[in-house]
Amino acid sequence: MALSGIQIFKMMPKKNCGECGVPTCLAFAMNLAGGKAELAQCPYVSDDAKEKLASASAPPIRTVQIGANAGAVKVGGETVLYRHEKTFNNPTGLGCLISTSETDDSVDAKLKAFKELRYERVGLTLKPELVAVKDEGAADRFKAIAKKADEAGAAVVLISDNLDALKSALSEIGKNKPLLYAATEGNLDSMSDLAKEFDCPLAVKAAKVGQVAKLAAKLIAKGHKDLVLSTDNLSLAEQLRDQVMIRRLALENLYRPLGFPTIVFPCAMADNPIDETIVAGTFISKYAGIQILSDLKGEVVFPLLLQRLNIYTDPQRPMTTEQGIYPVNNPDEKSPVLITSNFSLTYFIVSGEIEASRVPSWLLVLNTDGLSVLTAWAAGKFVGDVIGPFVKKCGIEDKSKLKKLVIPGAAAIISGDLEEELPDWEIAIGPREGAHIPAYLRQNFA
Ligand code: SF4
């Protein structure tokens, strides 16, 4: 049962040291009770208190892992209703549906797309994670496609009303913990037994949120921990209402039967790619843990992956690139050195423009705590007496003998300080805009 903030506070170390990110143990206890903090943030909690607080401090929405191999995906684990309150944690898992009634060519094309759709953005690889295999009354084919999907590295969702078909597929891929879809009013006990036998996560499905909650409560009583919730509603408005209701009850009321990630099927809610993209986009924002599309077409998947990236990055922590030396276009010791901040967006724009210039160059990335060049300069993190020691220590002097450092035009003001810090270097002022870097490099260094 959930504990109140005061009950949790009584078990806190009461050091009021602030190491957990809030100034007092009372504030931390209140956050813990509201699902806005994690027990691990306090290093001083006793083992005894940890045990007692374990359930109270668990995220109000459980993190559920689908799959066990390298392609496993974690969903759920959310602690806030709105991203700006803190952050969303586990991005919506995206996948496509493959039915046993599809031709071999169609199955192979979808699995090929699953393996090939990879997009590199801001240092991350964006890709779909799941394949849902649906049995349409062909158990052997169901098993064979499930095996292929598993071998393709997907986290698999097995969809069937036929327990024997599910069991047969599990005999092939059960060790990789696919999600079983779905326990219903009519098959609750047998699906529960099957999920327990193979230690797999289990989806629970009903027409309405209240019915899903009742079934989930029964499964919790049977000892299930990893559940995924599903309502039958295929209308965008009604499914959206269900998703919001589940999230609100889980977070605001700490209602445990609904404290699990959800699965939504845009593939069944739209009959053309544009509508399907709109439906899926809606549920990336609110609040699907998993979404199953009808196919994996780049023009549908790419915008969804980008939307997901935007929604699931921490709004309080800028995305950063590691400090260091980045070679672009195979530079050598006669190549110029450019420097920028470690705000990911800045880094990727600058490195992309240098690459486009085809001029071999060294790019230095300075740790500015994720601040862009101008903001970092204003905060004293992109100034002469920070950049100077960095250039001397980072090892670039062994790589570039040209000794020409190009600083961003927006930070031209630091050139005087840098000349004092780096007397052996020529300091050049580059363009203010990233788009002008190729012309600048070609003109001065080609
Ligand atoms: S880190 Fe622990 S002891 Fe320190 S203020 Fe936070 S809850 Fe209290």
Atom of ligand 1 nearest to the CA of 13: 3
**Three-point CA angle 237, 238, 242, nearest 5°:** 120
Going from the Cα of 48 to the center of ligand 1, the distance in angstroms, rounded, reads 16
Q: Are 99 and 308 in contact (CB under 8 A)?
A: no
Q: What's the CA-to-centroid distance between 23 and ligand 1, angstroms?
A: 8
Classified by CATH at the fold level, domain 63-311 comes out as TIM Barrel (3.20.20)
Domain 5-57 class, CATH top level = mainly alpha
Q: How confident is the model at residue 382 (pLDDT cuts 50, 70, 90)?
A: very high
Ligand 1, CB cutoff 6 Å, lining residues? 12-13, 15-20, 24-25, 28, 42, 44
E strands, 184-283, are 202-206, 227-231, 263-264
CATH number given to 324-445: 3.40.50.11600
At 62-74, the pLDDT tens digits run 999 999 988 899 9
List pLDDT tens digits, range 327-370: 999 999 999 999 999 998 899 899 999 999 999 999 999 999 99
pLDDT for 1 beyond 80: no
Reply yes or no on whether the pLDDT at 3 is more than 80: no
Domain boundaries, the chain: 5-57, 63-311, 324-445
Write down the pLDDT at residue 55: 65
Q: Which atom of ligand 1 is nearest to the CA of 23?
A: 5
Pocket test for ligand 1, best of 14, 28, 30, 39 (most atoms within 8 A of CB): 28
Ligand 1 center from residue 2 Cα (angstroms): 20
Residues 6 or more apart in contact with residue 7 via CB below 8 angstroms: 33, 56
Q: What is the pLDDT of residues 4-33, one digit of tens each?
A: 788 889 999 999 999 998 999 999 998 887
Among 85-94, 144-153, 164-173, the range scoring the smallest mean pLDDT is 85-94
pTM of structure = 0.78
Indicate which residue's Cα is closest to atom 2 of ligand 1. Answer: 42
Across residues 411-418, what is the average pLDDT? Answer: 95
Identify the band that residue 226 occupies on the pLDDT scale cut at 50, 70 and 90: very high
- What is the distance in angstroms between the CA of the first residue and the CA of the last residue of the chain? 69
Q: What pLDDT is attached to residue 38?
A: 81
pLDDT band of 56, cuts 50, 70, 90: low
Euclidean distance between CA atoms 148 and 101, whole angstroms: 15
The residue whose C-alpha atom lies closest to atom 6 belonging to ligand 1 is 20
Least confident of 161-170, 221-230, 316-325: 316-325
Query: Quick one: residue 428, left, alpha or beta (phi over 0 = left, psi -120 to 50 = alpha)?
Result: beta
Q: How far is the CA of 308 from the centre of ligand 1 (A)?
A: 33
Q: What is the mean pLDDT of the chain?
A: 94
Higher pLDDT, 348 or 177: 177
- pLDDT for residue 32: 83
